[in-house]
């Protein structure tokens, strides 16, 4: 029998726009099975890479997010230790094929894949990364750059907490967003009791 998929919604926080030159500070992940079942969560903060720098524009942005910065930098682990722990967590779901889900995947997957391959020489996702905004483009049948959150149906966001730049919170929130989008695409009524509160 073919393995079912498990959707690992991931959000990362960083001190710059690209991995290697800059560091991933925090990683949050939430594992979902469809239609809308939160299975487990994972979160870890990481120490900066030894040779990395901090991007000045990114750090100016962080100054305006003091609570999120505090959350992203508390009790950090060595980057290799954190990366290995994340791989071990994903591998717990052996009965499923993991799919990386992010918003945007071009940012979050780039960081996570770089860390996993550079520090651990493996990735449980291979190249399986689903971009939520691209999925919205297909569901809404609108141009990609028009598929911003403000143009998405409000029902997709019902019960989902505000994006607060705390990695685990945002990973959970965007995971529920993906599940709601998938449900809408499959023709389920989002108001049905089976969906509960996101």
Q: Which residues are catalytic?
A: 165
Angle at 36 between CA 35 and CA 42, to 5 degrees: 130
Query: Quick check: 115 and 24 in contact, CB under 8 A?
Result: yes
Residue owning tokens 């297909």: 138
Strands (E), the chain: 4-14, 24-33, 37-45, 96-102, 129-131
Burial 11-48 (b: 16+ CB within 10 A, else e): bbbbbbeebeebbbbbbbbbbbeeebeeeebbbbbbeb
Task: Report d(CA 169, CA 28) in Å as an integer.
Answer: 8
């Amino acid at each position: 029998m073919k393995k079912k998929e498990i959707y690992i919604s991931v959000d990362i926080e960083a001190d710059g726009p690209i991995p290697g030159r800059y560091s991933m500070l925090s990683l949050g992940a939430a594992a979902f099975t469809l239609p809308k079942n939160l299975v487990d969560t994972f979160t870890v903060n990481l120490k900066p890479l030894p040779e990395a720098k901090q991007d000045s524009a990114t750090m100016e942005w962080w100054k305006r997010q003091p609570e999120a910065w505090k959350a992203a930098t508390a009790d950090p682990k060595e980057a290799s230790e954190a990366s290995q722990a994340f791989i071990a967590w994903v591998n717990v779901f052996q009965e499923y094929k993991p799919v990386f889900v992010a918003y945007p995947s071009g940012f979050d997957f780039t960081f996570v894949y770089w860390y996993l391959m550079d520090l651990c020489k493996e990735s449980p996702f291979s190249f399986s990364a689903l971009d939520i905004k691209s999925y919205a483009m297909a569901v809404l049948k609108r141009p990609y750059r028009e598929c911003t959150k403000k143009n998405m149906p409000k029902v997709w966001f019902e019960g989902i907490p505000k994006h607060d730049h705390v990695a685990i919170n945002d990973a959970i929130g965007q995971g529920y967003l993906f599940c709601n989008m998938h449900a809408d695409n499959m023709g389920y009524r989002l108001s049905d009791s089976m969906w509960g509160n996101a």
